[in-house]
């Protein structure tokens, strides 16, 4: 009877340990490498200062889930298109441990890492990184770009993701002619990858969701579609951030009152992905909008 009791306790103990180990994993976005496409060139490794990538046996390898933040800084560096983001079970990302590795690489890498987190609006991770630096008595570099875009120096950091509203002066009168060359852009940036969902220009906005190819295809894009609207642009075929796009659009819909949504897409089949992403985002946000959709032919006409 005692042996049975001890065996039962042992089984419960093992079950508890296994459950705890399972709880340490979570489903999150993380880098995945296509080994067939990867040539082992190593171009991606410097773009991962977190230290999650190494070249092993002639291939790029993700050596630790703990170090991969899933934000995809390495993807753009890959010349073979062998890297993408997928959502899977992975150990939680550990910013404090990552900073131990970042610090060893010097102040320029520290600054680049902080800027990377700030660009992706990872405020919680940024707070952890700064805390680690403070605990170690290491100065926190100036990583947030605040210089106006037209005055930005050519060295250090990229100002391309700095949010800003653009005020457009109204025409002198209702009948005043408007040059086709006049820009109607009301905000910056425009690419969904760079947009901050909390940007104030989304409040009570009339949104224009445009596929990347529409502006060069449709000559009167600014006057016909962009005027008085906030634009969100992406490519549903070439951009590798589809799940991230769904999350970001859902956040915009959840955080702001949206007055209207218009969609401009090309007539090619792959551009139908714009509608799919938009529909998934509305479902995730629990919102429903009436969508005005315009399809543009490759010859530049509204279909």
Supply the CATH number for residue 292's domain: 3.40.50
- What average pLDDT does range 142-154 have in this prediction? 45
Q: Residue 179: which pLDDT band, with cuts at 50, 70 and 90?
A: low
Structural domains in the chain (count): 3
Q: Could you say which DSSP state residue 170 is in?
A: P
32 versus 15: the higher-pLDDT residue is 32
Rounded average pLDDT over 11-32 = 58
Residue 293, pLDDT > 70, answer: yes
The reply to whether 65 and 101 lie within a common domain is no
Spatial separation of the C-alpha atoms in residues 128 and 268, rounded to whole Å: 45
| Over residues 270-284, mean pLDDT | 92
Give the structural domain span for 64: 22-91
Name the residue among 40, 98, 87, 96 with its Cα closest to residue 64. 98
174 — pLDDT class (breaks 50, 70, 90):
low
84 with 102, same domain: the answer is no
Integer Cα distance of 288 and 267 in angstroms: 24
Kindly report, residue by residue over 216-253, the tens digit of the pLDDT: 999 999 999 999 999 999 998 888 888 889 999 999 99
User: First-to-last CA distance in the chain?
Assistant: 81
Could you tell me the pTM of the whole model?
Answer: 0.47
Grade residue 6 by pLDDT with cuts at 50, 70 and 90. Answer: low
In a domain, 291, yes or no: yes
Judge if 67 and 105 occupy the same domain: no
The pLDDT assigned to 59 comes to 87
């Amino acid at each position: 009877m005692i042996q049975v009791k001890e065996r039962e306790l042992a089984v419960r103990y093992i079950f508890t340990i296994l459950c705890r180990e399972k709880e340490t994993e979570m489903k999150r976005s993380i880098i995945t490498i296509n080994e067939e496409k990867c040539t082992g060139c190593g171009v991606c490794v410097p773009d991962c200062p977190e230290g999650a990538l190494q070249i092993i046996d002639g291939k790029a390898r993700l050596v630790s889930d703990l170090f991969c933040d899933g934000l995809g800084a390495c993807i753009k560096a890959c010349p073979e298109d062998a890297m993408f983001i997928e959502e899977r079970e992975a150990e939680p990302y550990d910013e404090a441990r990552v900073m131990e590795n970042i610090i060893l690489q010097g102040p320029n890498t520290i600054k680049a890492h902080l800027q990377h987190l700030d660009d992706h609006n990872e405020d919680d991770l940024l707070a952890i990184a700064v805390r680690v630096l403070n605990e170690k008595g290491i100065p926190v570099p100036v990583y947030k770009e605040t210089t106006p875009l037209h005055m930005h120096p050519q060295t250090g950091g990229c100002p391309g993701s700095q949010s800003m509203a653009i005020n457009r002066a109204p025409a002198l009168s209702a009948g005043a002619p408007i040059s086709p060359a006049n820009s109607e852009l009301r905000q910056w940036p425009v690419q969904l990858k760079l947009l901050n969902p909390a940007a104030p220009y989304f409040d009570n906005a009339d949104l224009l969701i445009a596929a990347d190819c529409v502006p060069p295809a449709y000559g009167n894009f600014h006057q016909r579609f962009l005027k008085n609207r906030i634009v969100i642009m992406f490519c549903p075929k070439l951009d590798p951030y589809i799940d991230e796009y769904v999350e970001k659009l859902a956040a915009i819909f959840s955080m702001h009152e949206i007055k209207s949504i218009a969609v401009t897409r090309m007539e090619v089949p792959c551009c139908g992905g714009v509608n799919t992403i938009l529909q998934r985002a509305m479902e995730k946000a629990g919102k429903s909008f009436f969508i005005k959709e315009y399809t543009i032919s490759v010859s530049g006409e509204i279909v």
